[in-house]
Amino acid sequence: MNGNPSSSDILRQLGQILEARKGQDPDQSYVAALYAKGLDAILKKVGEEATETVIAAKGCDPARLVYETADLWFHTLVMLAHQGLGPDAVLDELGRRFGVSGHDEKSTRATSEQSKVR
């Protein structure tokens, strides 16, 4: 065993670490520095990582795609933590959707969004 968390625990452990970084010195922690810069800086970073992920996918380089996707997921988790959410919120939503047709889920979402507008 190499000491790394199991795949099932990585998101939760990372969420805990990101939460702990909120109280750290921005000069000592990259994540604390992102939090200190605020939501707009975090969102900019998520956008940059999303773009890099798309470029990697278009480049057909599997290793680069995995690397960039990891960056995207990481910065998305920072965004969630900044908003007081953790990976469990997203995992719960994915669990809710599991086994539901994507078409059915989207039509339910569209109906729900239309009722909010009215």
R_g over Cα of the chain:
17
Is residue 100 pLDDT above 80, yes or no?
Answer: no
> What pLDDT is recorded for position 1?
46
Q: Is residue 1 part of a domain?
A: no
CA angle 91, 89, 50 (to 5 degrees): 75
End-to-end CA distance of the chain: 56
pLDDT digits (tens, 9 = 90+) for 3-35: 676 766 899 899 999 999 999 999 999 999 999
Q: Is residue 37 part of a domain?
A: yes
Q: Is residue 100 part of a domain?
A: yes
> What pLDDT is recorded for position 6?
74
pLDDT digits (tens, 9 = 90+) for 31-81: 999 999 999 999 999 999 999 999 999 998 999 999 999 999 999 999 999
Which residues constitute the domain of residue 113? 10-117
Contact 25, 44 (CB under 8 A): no
Number of domains in the chain: 1
